[in-house]
Amino acid sequence: MALLEVRGLSKRFGGLDAVAELDFDVIEGEILGIIGPNGAGKSTVFNMICGTFKPTSGTLTFEGKNITGLSAHKVAKMGIARVFQGNVLFLESTVIDNVLMGMHLHTQLSVPGFLLGGRRARRRDEALRSKAMEILELVALHDDADRVAADLPHGNQRHLCLAVALAAEPKLLLLDEPVTGMNAGEVSEMLDLVRMLREKTGLTLIVIEHNMKAVMSLCDRIVAISYGRKLAEGSPEEIANNPTVIEAYLGEEEDVA
């Protein structure tokens, strides 16, 4: 069953088609990869799904409901979350407080309420903290709950970004280059973590990633785009051996196995 249906999705900036007539489905429970060279339109696709950009044309259907052009806040409330390429965190706050602030969509408590310790926040503090600790345990950060986020190494900050997104209880999670800037060991840990989250929670994910070995090993299916248009769609093996994809993006001599 398709959790998200993308049909004829297009975004035009002036005279430039950043994304043009893009079609694909995201099946519930799968990990879908989107690959393409720099400037291919991958981030623009994410921005339209999340409500940051309004499509010029086309439709986005999530759980059978048309979400085309909805605000980012409304899209998030419906169950779509995003982990950005950069670490978007409250760096001077503790690890657990970052997760608590990520919960405000579903608790109806404002971020200032969490930051300033308002009456409603205090009343629900114990239950929220218990839930936050469960999320931190999922991403292997429970021992760092009271540590300041800025003191975490880069790989663990990426794990914390994932925890903050999970705090919003998404049904669909968009990962924007989740292993960027990581060493080989950190890459392996992140891929194992994403697989585990899918297995334990049934989460559906879309991943943008330039690390080809990572995306090929992680994803169930891959959509390859170039200049905003879909080149090919299929299994990692099919994409890795597709001549059009090889020529346009991977390079004829690059080994992606």
| pTM score | 0.89
The pLDDT of 169-180, averaged and rounded, is: 95
pLDDT band at 256 (very low <50, low <70, confident <90, very high): very low
Check residue 255 and give its pLDDT: 45
Residue 251 has pLDDT above 90, yes or no: no
| Tens-digit pLDDT profile for residues 3-31 | 999 999 999 999 899 999 999 999 999 99
- Percent of the chain's residues with pLDDT above 90: 79
pLDDT band at 254 (very low <50, low <70, confident <90, very high): very low
pLDDT band at 110 (very low <50, low <70, confident <90, very high): low
The full set of domains in the chain, from first to last, is: 1-79+171-257 (3.40.50.300), 86-169 (3.40.50.300)
Angle at 50 between CA 45 and CA 52, to 5 degrees: 85
| Tens-digit pLDDT profile for residues 14-73 | 989 999 999 999 999 999 999 998 889 999 999 999 999 999 999 999 999 999 999 999
Cα-only R_g, the chain: 19
